[in-house]
Amino acid sequence: MKLKSYLKLFKISNIDFSKEIGISSVSLSRYISGERLPEKKILNKIFKLTNGSVDANDFFLSSSPSRDLSEIHKKEIKKMVLNIRGGKLKDLAKAITLVESSLKLHNAQADFLLSKLKQNKNSLRVGITGVPGVGKSTFIETFGMSLIDLGFKVAVLAIDPSSKRTGGSILGDKTRMMKLSVNKNAFIRPSPSQGNLGGVAKKTSESIRCLEEAGFNIIFIETMGVGQAETTVYDMVDIFLVLLLPSGGDELQGIKKGIIEMADVIIINKADGNLKNTAEITMLEYKNAQNMISNIREDISPEVFLCSSTESIGITKIWNFIKKFEKIRRDSGSFYKTRIQQQTKAIWRNILLQSQDYIENNLKYNDSVKKIIKDVEKNNFDVNNASKIIFDFILKRNT
């Protein structure tokens, strides 16, 4: 990292640091500003003193220009933040677009925007998953409308699959949320997964913060229920709902057992008409199975409910349980503790994603790397050695 950032992080003054290295504070300022380059001996000292945090590269490479926003951009973003707080949907929508964008400039704008947002401790983040056709959107429509009647502001982030072949997508969630989508206390944003489920999840947690800034206090995150995305979504919500159809085991429904194990609430949906009996049997099966699953939350056990979104059955019971869940966990402090743990997880997730992105979009195109790989293919180079050398590229990468 840059020396300037290091000193700031550990709150070390320039004078103290210069004394330790044995140079004048003026020289140190010149090194920091980039006016002058430190010689080898000084570099070594700095490297040792900072436990390797600041190395030679940090003096030679300037930071990538796109990270620095112009004042005009900053002003725009500040205005955007004010508008979001003022309840302008347009600005909220644009902010989410910045968060989701693949452009470097947009990401820098999004980072700046996020740095201006407050922490919201009062919101409730609700993850909802289930296989296509289980009735997630219809459930959110009914549930969301009843919450709005109670005075809440409800937001929905829906992650829809993008086609692997063409990259395009159809986002039809709002056709199943007709009342909610036109209500002024609701905001629904479907997002294409762009084939990168983990990546979208990162963006989703940032979108949640934008929504909270706009005053939405119940936020649903809807995913497809087929694997990858759910674990990451689980790590950004306060409570996790899994919707199931009457009848059939997990395998039959195409839902992963691991996902069921994460559930705080299991909802047997579409318990109406001639499916009612089957739904009750399914509920019993899951209730029995719950006894064998170790609880993931220390203070409250998961529960199973029957629900019919079309006949509004079960909605009140589910809401009562969610309220109980929230109260117990807030009172015990585990609610907020989990959020803090989630933030740490988010850091590591972001780092993994960034490395992945760097590998896919830069490293693989590096001429030396390409040469090394070719040599390995020709048996001129050993795999372990090659990996070590290539990994050094990541270490030296300056961000």
Partner 1 sequence: MDRKNIYKGWEEQASKELRDKNLKDHFWETPEGIKVKPLYTEDDLQKINHEIGLPGLPPYTRGPRATMYTNRPWTIRQYAGFSTAEESNKFYKEGLKNGVMGLSVAFDLATHRGYDSDHPRVVADVGNAGVAIDSIEDMNLLFDGIPLDQMSVSMTMNGAVIPVLASFIASGEEQGCPREKLTGTIQNDILKEFMVRNTFIFPPKPSMRIVADIIEYTSKKMPKFNSISISGYHMQEAGANQVQELAYTLADGKEYIKSALERGLNIDEFAPRLSFFWSIGMNFFMEIAKMRAARYMWSKIVKEFKPKNDRSLALRTHCQTSGVSLMEQDAYNNIVRTTIEAMAAVMGGTQSLHTNSFDEALALPTKFSARIARNTQLIISEETGICNVIDPMAGSYYVESLTSSIVEESQKLISEIDEVGGMVKAIEMGIPKMRIEESSAKRQARVDSNEETIVGVNKYKPTEKQEINILSIDNVEVRKRQVSRLQKLKNSRDNKIVESFIEKIKNAASSDENLLEICIEASKNRCTVGEMTSAMESVFGRHNLSTKTISGVYKNTVKNDGKIDIIDNELNKFVNKKGRRPRMLVVKMGQDGHDRGAKLIATAFSDLGFDVDIGPLFQTPEEAAKQAIENDAHVIGVSTLAAGHKTLVPLLMESLKNNEASYIKVICGGVIPPDDHPFLYDLGVSKVFGPGTNIQEAAIEIINLL
Contacts with partner 1 by CB under 8 A lie at: 89-90, 92-94, 96-97, 100-103, 106, 137-138, 162-163, 165-172, 174-176, 178, 181-182, 187-190, 192
| Nearest distance, CB of residue 231 and partner 1, angstroms | 25
222, 177 Cβ separation under 8 angstroms: no
Structure tokens at 63: 């930071």
Structure tokens at 75: 């002003």
Cα gap 254→131, rounded to integer Å: 7
Question: Closest distance between partner 1 and the C-beta of residue 88, in Å?
Answer: 8
For residue 285, the minimal CB distance to partner 1 (Å) is 24
Decide if 285 contacts 261 (C-beta within 8 A).
no
Residue placing its CB nearer to partner 1 in the complex, 182 or 389: 182
Tell me whether residue 103 or residue 351 sits nearer to partner 1 (CB atom).
103
CB of 134 to partner 1, least distance (A): 12
CA distances (Å), origin 196, targets 186, 202, 248, 359: 27, 10, 29, 15
Q: Order of strands across the sheet with 218-222?
A: 186-192, 154-160, 218-222, 124-129, 239-244, 265-268, 303-306
Give the shortest CB-104-to-partner 1 separation in angstroms: 9
Q: What are phi and psi of 374, to 5 degrees?
A: -60, -45
Residues in CB range of 169: below 8 A, 6 or more apart: 160, 161, 162, 163, 192, 193
| Nearer to partner 1 (CB atom), residue 93 or residue 351 | 93
40 vs 164, which CB is nearer to partner 1? 164
| Minimum distance, C-beta of residue 155 to partner 1, in the bound complex (Å) | 10
Two structure tokens written together for 151: 């005075």
Cα separation, 223 vs 302, in Å, equals 20
Minimum gap (Å) between residue 246 Cβ and partner 1: 15
Distance, in Å, from the CA atom of 253 to the CA atom of 270, rounded to the nearest integer, reads 14
Tell me the two tokens of residue 144. Answer: 């969301």
Would you say 22 or 168 has its CB closer to partner 1? 168
Residue appearing with tokens 């296989």: 131
Which residue lies nearer to partner 1 by CB, 189 or 329? 189
Q: First CA to last CA across the chain, in angstroms?
A: 8
Closer residue to partner 1 (CB): 192 or 215: 192
Residue number with CB closer to partner 1 (84 or 260) = 84
Nearest to 205 by CA among 118, 96, 122, 113: 96
Nearer to partner 1, 155 or 262 (CB): 155
Query: Closest distance between partner 1 and the C-beta of residue 153, in Å?
Result: 14
What is the smallest separation between the CB atom of 170 and partner 1, expressed in angstroms? 5
Residue 255 DSSP one-character state: -
Phi, psi at 191, each rounded to 5°: -130, 135
